[in-house]
Amino acid sequence: MLKKTTRLTLVDQVIVQLEAMIESGDWTVGEKIPPEPELIAKLQVSRNTLREGIKALCHAGVLVTRQGDGTYVSSRSALGAALQRRAQQSGLLETLEVRQALEREAARLSAVRRTDEDIARIRHYQQLCREYARSGDIERYVETDLCLHQSIVEATGNAMLVELYSHMTDAVRESIMLSPHRKTSSFLHADKHQLLIEAIIEGDEEKAGQAVLQDIAELKQAWEEEESS
């Protein structure tokens, strides 16, 4: 017997639409969402329905409400928020181990599957990283570095891996910002991922995988030195 189709409630529809705007990049992490009147007009729902939807996303960790200020995007998705909470509970070392597992395989796959368009996108973010490293702009450097990692993952052509890594972005960002390596002079390195990028362009999957291991090993070493000091 076929199951009856369950229609979404108005609140569920609001949640879906708000999530879509966040995941599409219309609202980025850290950005304040539009005021209630604007959202009510856009979504064609009542104030109570909108508030219930926002409340649900706050509970999921996707949004956060700041008293007297407004509501902000805190994660790109409920899965991303859950992964970020898990990363906070697990600690930096476990997050680095997960990054190593995902990024190493992504690098290997990218080396054999990347297209000319992928290479152009990777080089674009590499150049931006160089510019922000030289200017000392840590925040933009970190965000661009994340885009560089994401572009490498996208070059795998594996849709599931791309989506999984995109949900990991918040946890990866936090692992970078909390890393003791951030305090060292080598953090803002203009050519930090040069070996990795060269390997991907050359189509050398073994070299690409080793480059990721080297990058993560440096972060682990900085963490261990911080813990022992």
The CATH number of whichever domain residue 112 belongs to comes to: 1.20.120.530
Least confident window among 4-8, 63-67, 96-100 = 4-8
87 pLDDT band (50/70/90 cuts)? Answer: confident
Structure tokens at 226: 């911080």
Q: Judge whether 26 lies within some domain.
A: yes
Mean pLDDT in residue range 80-99: 79
8 Å CB contact between 228 and 222: no
Q: Do 58 and 133 reside in the same domain of the chain?
A: no
Q: Flag whether pLDDT at 4 surpasses 60.
A: no
Give the Cα separation of 118 and 40 in Å (integer).
Answer: 40
Mean pLDDT in residue range 190-212: 92
Give the Cα separation of 154 and 149 in Å (integer).
Answer: 9
Report pLDDT for 5.
Answer: 43
Least confident window among 20-24, 34-38, 48-52, 178-182 = 178-182
Give the Cα separation of 46 and 69 in Å (integer).
Answer: 21
Structure tokens at 199: 């390997």
159 burial (CB, 10 Å; 0-12 / 13-18 / 19+) is: exposed
How many domains does the chain fold into? 2
CA distances (Å), origin 97, targets 5, 91, 212:
42, 10, 11
Give the Cα separation of 201 and 136 in Å (integer).
Answer: 27
Residue 72, classed as helix, strand or coil, is: strand
Residue 188, classed as helix, strand or coil, is: coil
Q: Flag whether pLDDT at 213 surpasses 50.
A: yes
Q: Judge whether 24 lies within some domain.
A: yes
Q: Do 69 and 94 reside in the same domain of the chain?
A: no
- Residue 221's nearest CA partner among 187, 181, 169, 188 is 181
Q: Do 68 and 83 reside in the same domain of the chain?
A: no
User: 85 is in which domain, residue-wise?
Assistant: 79-228
Tens-digit pLDDT profile for residues 128-181: 999 998 888 888 988 999 999 999 999 999 998 988 888 788 777 877 776 655
Q: Do 85 and 158 reside in the same domain of the chain?
A: yes
Name the packing angle between helices 78-90 and 159-178 (round to 10°): 40
